[in-house]
């Protein structure tokens, strides 16, 4: 079975390659904005909807224009992919999956461009990654993909680091799991509690670095706009944000990998996180926990490990239901109630452990 998989590496371009990356990013941004304006104007004036094929044809003419000959310095595939991104943004808008496309700015947090592999012009050799227009770029290679590279995305972070993500088509190699069955109830105090009674503490990554972030942001606000000191301080603020992201991601990867390698069935809730963060008392803590990203990791890693991820309904009363007799206690809706005794059978429950058992029982019920 063929699957597409991503491999991300940090790269260390030299001065010439760094300049070429910046040039390509600028060209891709110009092409995206130019044809966004063209498509918007064509619709307003003539009610004409330009397709990707039409804009690709116009791009060829634009590159021949004497005033835009500098576009030839960029990777031609990257410019085409920029048009594909614009077309995808329009399709997402018309299908209701996104808002109307917006112009790109060079001040965006993360700049990136994508290029396709043609005639093996994207490959890994001698510990380096060969990319179009860049040549062999020094990289930190931890894993070598075993398959055909479809495309590569080169990105630059706000702290000035460079990465390349390779999209690879390869054969699925099933990974083993220990055959366990588990239910998971995520929370704020404990990151999750399982049906076995075990729990994993919430690292609260943002809270851990919030004081440092507040200090660096305060210093940034005092710098004069346009000054070199402000530019340096902006990088310091970005470095704290990057640290928070990396620590949180590392934790999520470790926990999700452990769960899918130990269990055959994992039961989770279908949470409406977008609605939950509207509670301004809990929004920061919920966002810091990154439940949606954790569930996403469980699903794609579970697919490789042959692990089945079962979701139960959003409104299933897992915390209010007694896992022993099925009695529903509406008083447990209060989040301050951390343990309770069932008035029907007398069983004493920890709120989160009881919810995890109910989630597992509900997921194992036949459809």
Residue 269 known to be catalytic: yes
Helix (H) or strand (E) holding 8: strand 2-12
Alpha-carbon torsion, ordered 9, 12, 14, 16, to 10 deg? 30
Contact in structure between 98 and 86 (CB atoms under 8 Å): no
Residue 352 known to be catalytic: yes
Tokens of 275: 């609605």
Residue of 229, 244, 270, 290 lying closest to 363 (CA atoms): 270
Contact in structure between 152 and 166 (CB atoms under 8 Å): yes
Helices (H), 263-290: 273-276, 283-289
CA distance 128 to 11: 9
Contact in structure between 242 and 213 (CB atoms under 8 Å): no
Catalytic option among 185, 194, 216, 288: 185
Catalytic option among 75, 194, 216, 352: 352
Catalytic option among 75, 194, 216, 269: 269
Tell the residue number behind the tokens 């042959």, with chain if given. 306
Q: Indicate left, alpha or beta for 71 from its phi (over 0: left) and psi (-120 to 50: alpha).
A: alpha
Contact in structure between 133 and 28 (CB atoms under 8 Å): no
Catalytic residue numbers read 185, 269, 352
């Amino acid at each position: 079975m063929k699957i597409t998989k991503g491999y991300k590496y940090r790269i260390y371009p030299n001065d010439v390659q760094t300049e070429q990356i910046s040039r390509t990013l600028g060209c891709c941004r110009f092409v995206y904005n130019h044809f966004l304006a063209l498509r918007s104007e064509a619709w307003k004036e003539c009610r004409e909807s330009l397709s990707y094929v039409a804009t690709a044809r116009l791009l060829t003419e634009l590159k021949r224009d004497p005033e835009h000959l500098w576009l030839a310095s960029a990777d031609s595939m990257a410019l085409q992919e920029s048009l594909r991104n614009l077309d995808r943004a329009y399709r997402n808008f018309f299908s209701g999956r996104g808002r109307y496309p917006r112009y790109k700015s060079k001040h965006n947090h993360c700049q990136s461009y994508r290029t396709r592999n043609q005639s093996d012009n994207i490959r890994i050799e001698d510990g380096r990654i060969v990319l179009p227009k860049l040549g062999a770029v020094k990289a930190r290679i931890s894993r070598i993909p075993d398959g055909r590279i479809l495309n590569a995305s080169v990105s630059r972070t706000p702290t000035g680091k460079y990465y390349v993500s390779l999209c690879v088509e390869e054969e699925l190699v099933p990974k083993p799991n220990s055959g366990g069955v588990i239910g998971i109830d995520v929370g704020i105090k404990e990151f999750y509690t399982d049906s076995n009674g075990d729990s994993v503490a919430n690292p609260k990554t943002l809270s851990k670095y919030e004081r440092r972030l507040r200090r660096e942001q305060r210093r940034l606000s005092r710098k004069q706009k346009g000054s070199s000191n402000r530019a340096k301080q902006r990088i310091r603020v970005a470095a704290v944000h990057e640290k928070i992201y990396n620590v949180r991601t590392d934790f999520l990867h470790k926990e999700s990998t452990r769960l899918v390698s130990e269990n055959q069935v994992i039961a989770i809730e279908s949470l409406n996180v977008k609605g939950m963060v509207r509670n301004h008392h809990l929004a920061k803590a919920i966002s810091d926990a990154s439940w949606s990203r954790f569930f996403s990791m469980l699903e794609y890693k579970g697919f490789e490990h042959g692990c089945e991820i079962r979701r139960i309904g959003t409104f299933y009363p897992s915390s209010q239901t007694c896992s022993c007799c099925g009695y529903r206690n509406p008083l447990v809706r209060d989040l301050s109630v951390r343990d309770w005794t069932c008035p029907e059978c007398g069983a004493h429950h920890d709120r989160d452990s009881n919810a995890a058992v109910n989630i597992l029982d509900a997921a194992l019920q036949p459809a």
